[in-house]
Amino acid sequence: MAVLPVGSFEQHGAHLPLTTDTVIASVIAQRIATDYDLFLLPPITMSCSHEHASMAGTVSISAATLYAVVNDIWKSLQASGITGLIVVNGHGGNYVLSNVVQEANTTGRNLALFPVREDWHRAREDAGLESTGAADMHGGELEVSLLLHGAPHLIRDGIEGDDHSAPERPHLLTLGMTGYTENGIIGSPSLATSVKGKAILDSLTRSAAAHLEVLSAS
């Protein structure tokens, strides 16, 4: 069974790298590949970041392109005898990945999308995060905690001053991120710690077992 991290190349404020989502997806994928003896693939580093289009540094591909790339990767893996693929998604805007997974599974249990909402919620509880998922949308407590644990050298000094609250975003698809934030952050990075990041990763790793069990039962 293989694991494919999917990230993004998009703004994460002034103190986090453009590769934040890719780094996080890769950290998660590396951990579950190691713990469950999976075939780790290199990450897809650009995806659907159109809500960030007006903010400097962001590079996107179309949903159709991302769909085609992941689908082609899966077909290639099948030709090599791989029987299942876990897609580790690090960017919330990659809605099309759900379609890829659902369509691939019309012929059997082939793909899983991870982490799903329940996995993230459990990880937040297990790690004792202070923020909610709605409030902690982008570059906040969860993402920065994972980076502090997995890649602390990528964070610039000053991140603790980037807190920005916008828990309700009813027109995000229309207005994009600039409709709700000027500094590119929605969340509280000041609450992040490396200890929380490790606890999040540990929890997600445990949650991955259920997805693997479902795929292995095919």
Q: Smallest Cα–Cα separation from 193: which of 128, 135, 148? A: 148
> How many CB atoms neighbour CB 134 within 10 A?
12
> pLDDT per residue over 135-166, tens digit each?
999 999 999 999 999 999 999 999 999 999 99
Q: What is the pLDDT of residues 103-135, one digit of tens each?
A: 999 999 999 999 999 999 999 999 999 999 999
Residue with tokens 């960017």: 91
- Number of domains making up the chain: 1
Which residues span the domain enclosing 201?
Answer: 2-213
Q: Please, how many CA atoms are within 13 Å of residue 152, restricted to the half-sphere of its CB?
A: 9
The whole-chain average pLDDT of the chain stands at: 98
Could you tell me if residue 32 is inside a domain?
yes
Element (H or E) spanning 214, and its range?
helix 194-216
pLDDT for the residue 158:
97
CATH of the domain at 199: 3.40.50.10310
- The answer to whether 31 and 201 are in contact (CB under 8 A) is yes
Residue 218: its pLDDT value, please?
Answer: 63
| 218 in a structural domain | no
Q: How confident is the model at residue 217 (pLDDT cuts 50, 70, 90)?
A: confident
Secondary structure E strands in the chain: 2-6, 39-40, 85-89, 111-114
Q: What CA–CA distance (Å, rounded) separates 28 from 105?
A: 23
Q: What predicted TM-score, i.e. pTM, was given to this entire model?
A: 0.97
Domain assignment of residue 52, yes or no: yes
Is residue 56 situated within a structural domain? yes
Q: Left, alpha or beta for 56 (phi > 0: left; psi -120 to 50: alpha)? A: beta
